[in-house]
Amino acid sequence: MRGSPVMRSVLTSIKQGIGLETRMRVDLSRSLGINIVDSNGKKYMDMYNNIASLPVGYNHPRMLEAIRNGDWNQHLLQRQSLGVMPTDDWDKQIDNSIGRINPNPATYDVKLTGGCGSVAVENAMKTAFLYKARNEYCRTDYSLTNIAPPYSILSFKGGFHGRTLGSLSATRSKPAHKWGIPAFGWPMSIYPTNKTEETSTLKDVENQLVNDTNIAGVIIEPIAAEGGDIHASPDFFNKLNTLSTRFNVPLIVDEVQTSLGTGKPWAHSTWNCEPDIIVFSKKTQVGGYFLKERYRTKEYEIFNTYCGDALRVLQLGTILDIIDEGNLFESSSRVGGNITSGLNIISNIFPNIISNVRGEGFIIAFDTPSPQLLLKNMEDNGIFASTCGNTSIRLRPSLIFNDNDCEIFLDKLELAVINSNRDKSIYD
Ligand SMILES: Cc1ncc(COP(=O)(O)O)c(C=O)c1O
């Protein structure tokens, strides 16, 4: 093959299906705690965390201990079809993992779907469709399978819910995600960014629910993450919940990115209501959703080969032990606050580089006029992070990120900001 070694390796990668989106080749064996090491041996503080999905950092000693003890061996060796043939202790394993963070066991069942957020969202939507169909057709006569109702899910401009066909239809963070895909033309409202918009969005949702009886569910993120970490008030979400209840349309809260990340298990726990369906994935390692009893489906209606992943469920149990023992929800809430305070101080000095700092626990973001320029300077100074929305950088440290890490991070970021300020004045 012609070309430089770098070009050859890029071309080979593309042939292997490894995409152009690869930002770093990682040396997993040398990555430790909050630090990631690339294949050239360069170390970075990992504020990207495998797209917000790594809960307790790299090679955590408790996870290694579980491997050494052989605790997970049976599930490392074979992946089960958990829907049809789970082990005898499967209920106990669920109780000891995702069951421990059930927002209210008296209210919610749990359904595991698989490994990624999109599939969890897709099945949560199907659950909403099945609920509506059952209410409307009042029967479970499957000879009526030719009924393909024109139902839809209402979502919000700025929201991201995944890339399978249904979840993509509800995704509205960037037009590029949908390019060339015959996504459903489902209804939409605006993810509000302030009080006035909250009022107009609620009015708009109400009008749509009145005029469009095909809406079977409303889906929203507690923080619109990919769309730019947009925050709305608990009051907005409570009113949205009241509205959807009034129309008997389930409110689906997509906590795929926020689960375990906001200094507590669930971002929606600061609201004063219990939404109908709550979707999780990423830091929980296994994807799925909590649902109220009335949304229970019948056999095989929500189904796939695996219906979860026992290895990831066991890992989640150990992750929750680590979180409990280290009081990591409390500390991520406190340290998250320190990161945002530090960012605000830098923003006061360099408002042209950092502005609009926002955060809840370790779901943190700020605006910057040239995200790629600042990201590069952050990488030069040993911080690995990523963008969200069009003009924001998001920070998603793992829950073990502590006060000392926070000081080091802010020092490094300050240097990156100084460099960006210099680079910017050169380019201006
Ligand atoms: C809120 C939200 N929902 C759904 C998804 C889709 O998850 P996945 O990429 O694991 O399919 C994501 C992914 O970033 C997300 O942030």
Indicate whether 221 pLDDT > 90. yes
- What's the CA gap between 316 and 98, in Å, rounded? 7
Q: What is the pLDDT of residues 252-305, one digit of tens each?
A: 999 999 999 999 999 999 999 999 999 999 999 999 999 999 999 999 999 999
Indicate whether 414 pLDDT > 80. yes
**What is the Å distance from ligand 1's center to 280 Cα?**
9
Binding site membership of 226 for ligand 1 (Cβ less than 6 Å): yes
Binding site membership of 225 for ligand 1 (Cβ less than 6 Å): yes
What's the distance, CA 184 to chain centroid?
22
Q: What is the pLDDT of residues 370-384, one digit of tens each?
A: 999 999 999 999 999
pLDDT of residue 299: 92
Count CA atoms closer than 13 A to 220's CA, side-chain side.
Answer: 31
- In this prediction the pTM is 0.96
- What's the CA gap between 197 and 222, in Å, rounded? 16
Q: Judging by DSSP bridges, how do beta strands 108-114 and 287-292 pair with one another?
A: antiparallel
Q: What is the pLDDT of residues 14-72, one digit of tens each?
A: 777 777 888 899 999 999 999 999 999 999 999 999 999 999 999 999 999 999 999 99
CA distances from 421 to 184, 235, 368, 378 (A): 44, 38, 11, 12
Indicate whether 427 pLDDT > 60. no
φ and ψ at residue 26, rounded to 5 degrees: -105, 140
Contacts of 138 (CB under 8 A, 6+ apart): none
> Which residues are catalytic, by number?
160, 254, 282, 305
> Which residue has the CA at smallest separation from atom 3 of ligand 1?
161
Ligand 1 pocket test: which of 53, 119, 160, 260 has the largest number of ligand atoms within 8 Å of its C-beta?
A: 160
> Which residue has the CA at smallest separation from atom 14 of ligand 1?
257
- What's the CA gap between 47 and 189, in Å, rounded? 31
- What's the CA gap between 22 and 30, in Å, rounded? 19
Residue holding tokens 């050494």?
68
- What's the CA gap between 191 and 208, in Å, rounded? 15
Indicate whether 340 pLDDT > 70. yes
Contacts of 261 (CB under 8 A, 6+ apart): 52, 267, 283, 332, 361, 362, 363, 396
Q: What is the pLDDT of residues 103-154, one digit of tens each?
A: 999 999 999 998 899 999 999 999 999 999 999 876 556 666 667 889 999 9
Q: Percent of the chain beyond pLDDT 90? A: 88
pLDDT of residue 136: 86
